[in-house]
């Protein structure tokens, strides 16, 4: 696995990664309490403020939850929290469950767009993961779209060893953090309206080629402003929309 250099990551982020890895490894089970902040600070040789910041980030990422006056506990499903977009028809609607299917993993050379986004030389080998996505709500299952994610080699080689079934159970953000030690710190995104689906998405989804859609181009960055994923997604039109929460206090 490729570790993030301490030169690029602040102390709270390194502690956050360490605690998240221990949670993933089962050191603390869902519902169990993490050690108190002062105890962790003493064990790690860090300030209480640094430990508190790491805990806050774990809560924000969905790994843990806080109980006032008691402490921080491991969430029941720490890896399944939505990070960016949610699928809803209105603000008061409930989130639809995302269901990935038709998942493929292969190696491709970076074309000009991918190479530029990931700061690579054109032709650099990349791990490509393509997925179709359905949604499910109280009314049943409905199509959402298709996406292709590109991860540079050798930075993300650990994804080649990720069990295939994990790509259906977990988000790519979670797998990149768990297996490659590359947490998403921020992303840049451009959204376009397209009148037709591109051929590869059209074939994968078995959808009408002239169906309008949103094209989302996204680059995810880890600490040190290092880009590690270029994602190209096509979201079908319909009654459901993309909702994104913004909390400017974080």
Cα–Cα distance measured from residue 15 to residue 17, given in angstroms and rounded to the nearest whole number: 5
Residues of the chain with CATH 1.10.10.10: 11-74
Residue-wise pLDDT tens for the chain (250 aa)? 334 444 567 889 889 888 888 887 778 887 889 999 999 999 999 999 999 999 988 887 667 888 888 889 887 644 444 456 788 888 888 888 788 889 999 999 999 999 999 999 999 999 999 999 888 877 778 889 999 999 999 999 999 999 998 888 788 988 998 899 888 888 999 999 998 888 888 888 877 667 788 999 999 999 889 999 999 999 987 778 888 876 554 4
CATH of 85-244, one of 2.30.30.40, 3.40.1410.10, 3.20.20.70, 3.40.50.150: 3.40.1410.10
Specify the CATH number for 11-74; select among 3.40.50.1980, 1.10.10.10, 3.40.50.720, 3.90.550.10.
1.10.10.10
Q: How far is CA 221 from CA 67, 130, 156, 245, in A?
A: 31, 20, 13, 19
User: If you search the block for the tokens 């002062």, which residue do you land on?
Assistant: 38
Instruction: Say what the pTM is.
Output: 0.70
Q: Is the dihedral of CA 59, 60, 63, 65 positive or negative?
A: positive
In which residue are the tokens 């009654």 written? 239
Residue 38 backbone dihedrals phi, psi, to 5 degrees: -65, -35
Structure tokens of 49? 């403020």
Q: Boundaries of CATH 3.40.1410.10 in the chain?
A: 85-244
């Amino acid at each position: 696995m490729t570790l993030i250099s301490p030169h690029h990551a602040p102390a709270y982020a390194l502690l956050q990664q360490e605690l998240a890895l221990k949670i993933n490894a089962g050191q603390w089970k869902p519902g169990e309490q993490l050690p108190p902040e002062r105890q962790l600070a003493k064990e790690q040789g860090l300030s209480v403020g640094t430990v508190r910041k790491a805990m806050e980030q774990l809560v924000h990422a969905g790994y843990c939850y806080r109980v006032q006056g008691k402490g921080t506990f491991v969430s029941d499903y720490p890896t399944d929290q939505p990070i960016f977009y949610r699928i809803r028809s209105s603000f008061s609607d409930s989130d639809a469950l995302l269901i990935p299917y038709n998942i493929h993993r292969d190696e491709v050379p970076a074309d000009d767009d991918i190479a530029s986004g990931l700061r690579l030389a054109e032709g650099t080998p990349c791990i490509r993961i393509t997925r179709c996505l359905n949604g499910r709500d109280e009314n049943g299952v409905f199509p959402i779209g298709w996406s292709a994610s590109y991860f540079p080699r050798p930075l993300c080689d650990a994804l080649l060893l990720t069990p295939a079934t994990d790509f259906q159970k977990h988000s790519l953000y979670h797998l990149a953090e768990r297996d490659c030690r590359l947490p998403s710190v921020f992303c840049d995104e451009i959204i376009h309206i397209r009148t037709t689906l591109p051929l590869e998405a059209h074939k994968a989804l078995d959808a009408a080629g002239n169906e309008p859609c949103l094209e989302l181009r996204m680059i995810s960055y880890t600490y040190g402003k290092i880009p590690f994923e270029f994602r190209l997604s096509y979201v079908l039109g319909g009654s459901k929309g993309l909702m994104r929460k913004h909390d400017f206090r974080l």
